[in-house]
Amino acid sequence: MSLSNEADEEFRRRYGPWVVIAGASEGIGQAYADQLAAKGVNLITLARRAELLEADARKLRAQYGVEVRPVSLDLAAPDLATSFSAAIDGIDVGLLVYNACYSHIGKFLGVPLADHLRTLDVNCRGPVTLVEHVAPRLIARGRGGILLMSSMSGFQGSAMVTSYAATKAFNTILAESLWVELRPLGVDVLACVAGATSTPGFENSTPEAKKGKAMPMAAADVAREGLAALPHGPVHIAGRINRLVNAVSRLMTRRQRTSFFSGATQDIYTT
């Protein structure tokens, strides 16, 4: 047996046979789905757009021979707990990947209240709800994992993405806290912190002339690092440049960091 097959077998033993991916229809979530299917685990993929999930499920089944169950689900819905419980009923889930996020770029007072509240629902209430349902199953198994996607924006405040940045700080701290509580029970927890990433969301929201300034990573590279770092939580920053930027920014005061990152964000997203 090759080393890669041995590694995949160990991954399936610890995190299989089923993985839930929230926010799987595109970008980093889609990259997670592809890489996890390649490891031979079955998938429950969650997102609102059923047609994208179905198309990806057909491809993954054909390419890797795994089971894929796409579930159209609104992670901001008031009945999320009930809908998610039904989606995983009777399934032996070994890993939860919460990649879904919502953001509305713009000055705080220029963003409708409904968008601020949806950001809180998808980015904070969503992962808490899914973790609350999955964690007891993982504890009972004595093995498994929880991977929450976070962002460099969550390390300090930032203009133009105020609510989003605050929710990503929540995600990182949530993962760190869960790591302490669940690690002794056999459950790995990781916050995978991404910087700018080449996803449809990034492409659609970033002016063409400013995309190069953001130095986006490929979604597949972010997902690959997240899966590799999962056993080594609680936090992993994806990308050498992002790790360097974070290290340098730690030499600044919090006020300086907030001003620096706010300036960079405003430069990218304002014309």
Catalytic residues: 164, 168
Pairing of strands 93-98, 144-151: parallel
Residue with tokens 């990259």: 31
- Tell me if 59 sits within 8 A of 30, measured CB to CB: no
Longest alpha-carbon distance in the chain: 58
Q: How many residues in the chain?
A: 271
| Chain Cα centroid distance, residue 150 | 6
Q: Are 157 and 179 in contact (CB under 8 A)?
A: no
**Dihedral-angle region of residue 239 (phi above 0 means left; psi in -120 to 50 means alpha; beta otherwise):** left
Stretch (H or E) spanning 61: helix 50-64
Chain centroid, CA 66 distance in Å: 22
In this structure, the dihedral spanned by the alpha carbons of residues 70, 125, 172 and 252, taken in order and rounded to 10 degrees, is: 130
Round to whole Å and give the CA distance between 83 and 55.
Answer: 22
